Amino acid sequence: MGTEPFFSSRKKPRPKAKTFFKVLALAFLAIFAALALTPFSQALLAQENQAPNESAKPNLRIISLYAADTEILLRLGARDQLVGISRQETYDGPETKDWPRPPEFSIHDDVEKFLAAAPDYILIRPMHLSASPALFQTLEKTGIKIWSRQCTEAKDLFDFWRELGEISGKQDQVNSMIEEFQAKIAALTYQDPQNGQGQAQNQDQNKAQGQNQRPGVFLEAIHKEVKTFTPDSIPVWLLTLAGGRNVADDSEPTRPGQIVANYGPERLLEKADQVDVFISQEGPMNKVDLKTVKERKIYAVLPAFKNNRVYRIPEELISRPSPSLVEGLELLKGMIHPQK
């Protein structure tokens, strides 16, 4: 009688060596194939279970270091997802009522403070990344997503909002917000007086004539260096919608991607007779009061100063790419065309 093999409880003839090794080889091949396919199978499973756009998952934890991003998320109904905000928050709307404000953060905080909040996303501006690259590189290595965006032109405004809608899972809400914003902007946009009926071919000429007859406006970004805004910036876009003519239409950005432009007193004085209205923004970029602006001697020759048409407007209403631009447009229109 042969010896009972370990893999069987029944007695049977001992297999020949050739057959035994063939079975053993096939077993090893099967085990090897299974092991080799395991990572691939896991990858496929993960891919099938993963959402098409991971950023669209709802209830992601977010730290916002830019007040415009915070305002947009609040308006979209994502306030419970905010686990950290900036130190420059100014938005105060119905969404902030009874809101237990989360902790404030800045680029000067250490990595441990950010990690303690356990964010999925940190929203920043390119200037933050330039100022503290090591901080955000370290945070990104821990698995936190760093979203760095700068919206400086009106043509990019809605894409900017849509990206925030995707991150917070509020795509439907962002579409409603855009529609409401467009309707309000259209209702507030200044209409130039019609010069007769005119023919269709003269419409462009009549439009240009109407714009040339608008009050000339100098929009001051930074008082100390007599800086203004670039012609394609959001503040100048609002100024135009409000029925003003940008006196500094020849300005150029101080640096690529910036909306602030050097202008200087000499260039402004060359166009002194065109400055019917002078508007200075107030906020972190321009910390001066109206009295200080009016006392600047070089401005005394400007018609705006002679006729007491010098104004201040909050920075967050004209420079931040948020729905509060509607309020900025309404204020600008009242300053440029007070009789309307």
Q: What is the mean pLDDT of residues 81-95?
A: 96
Q: What is the pLDDT of residues 92-127, one digit of tens each?
A: 999 999 999 999 999 999 999 999 999 999 999 999
What is the tens place of the pLDDT at every residue in 8-52? 333 334 444 444 444 344 344 333 333 333 332 233 223 223 333
Q: Which residue has the tokens 């997503």?
A: 145
Which residue in this structure is represented by tokens 């356990």?
Answer: 118
Q: Are strands 277-282 and 310-314 parallel, antiparallel or unpaired?
A: parallel
β-pair type (216-220, 245-246): parallel
Q: Are strands 252-253 and 260-262 parallel, antiparallel or unpaired?
A: antiparallel
Domain 62-185 matches domain 202-336 at the CATH topology level: yes
Place of tokens 């229109």: 333
Q: Say what the pLDDT of residue 207 is.
A: 53
Three-state helix/strand/coil letters over the chain:
CCCCCCCCCCCCCCCCHHHHHHHHHHHHHHHHHHHHHHHHHHHHHHHHHCCCCHHHCCCCCEEECCHHHHHHHHHCCCHHHEEEECCCCCCCCHHHCCCCCCCECCCCCCHHHHHHCCCCEEEECHHHHHHCHHHHHHHHHCCCEEEECCCCCHHHHHHHHHHHHHHHCCHHHHHHHHHHHHHHHHHHCCCCCCCCCCCHHHHHHHHHHHHHCCCEEEEECECCCCEEECCCCHHHHHHHHCCCEECCCCCEECCCCCCEEECHHHHHHHCHHHCCEEEEEEECCECCCHHHHHCCHHHHHCHHHHCCCEEEEEHHHCCCCCCCHHHHHHHHHHHHCCCC
Among 32-46, 151-165, 168-182, 185-199, the range scoring the smallest mean pLDDT is 32-46
Q: What HEC string does 183-229 produce?
A: HHHHHHCCCCCCCCCCCHHHHHHHHHHHHHCCCEEEEECECCCCEEE
- Homologous superfamily assigned to 62-185: Nitrogenase molybdenum iron protein domain (3.40.50.1980)
The predicted-structure confidence for 256-270, as pLDDT tens digits, reads as follows 778 999 999 999 999
CA–CA gap between residue 336 and residue 239 (Å, rounded): 9
What residue ranges do the domains of the chain occupy?
62-185, 202-336
pLDDT of residue 258: 85
What pLDDT score was predicted for residue 339? 83
| Per-residue pLDDT at 252 exceeds 70 | yes
Residue 167 has pLDDT above 60, yes or no: yes
Strand order in the sheet with 216-220: 245-246, 216-220, 277-282, 310-314
Contact 245, 212 (CB under 8 A): yes
Q: Dig out the tokens for 323 from the structure.
A: 């729905």
- The amino acid at 15: P
- The dihedrals phi and psi of 43, each to the nearest 5 degrees, come to -65, -40
Tell whether domain 202-336 is in CATH 3.40.50.2300: no
Phi/psi of residue 198, nearest 5 degrees: 70, 165
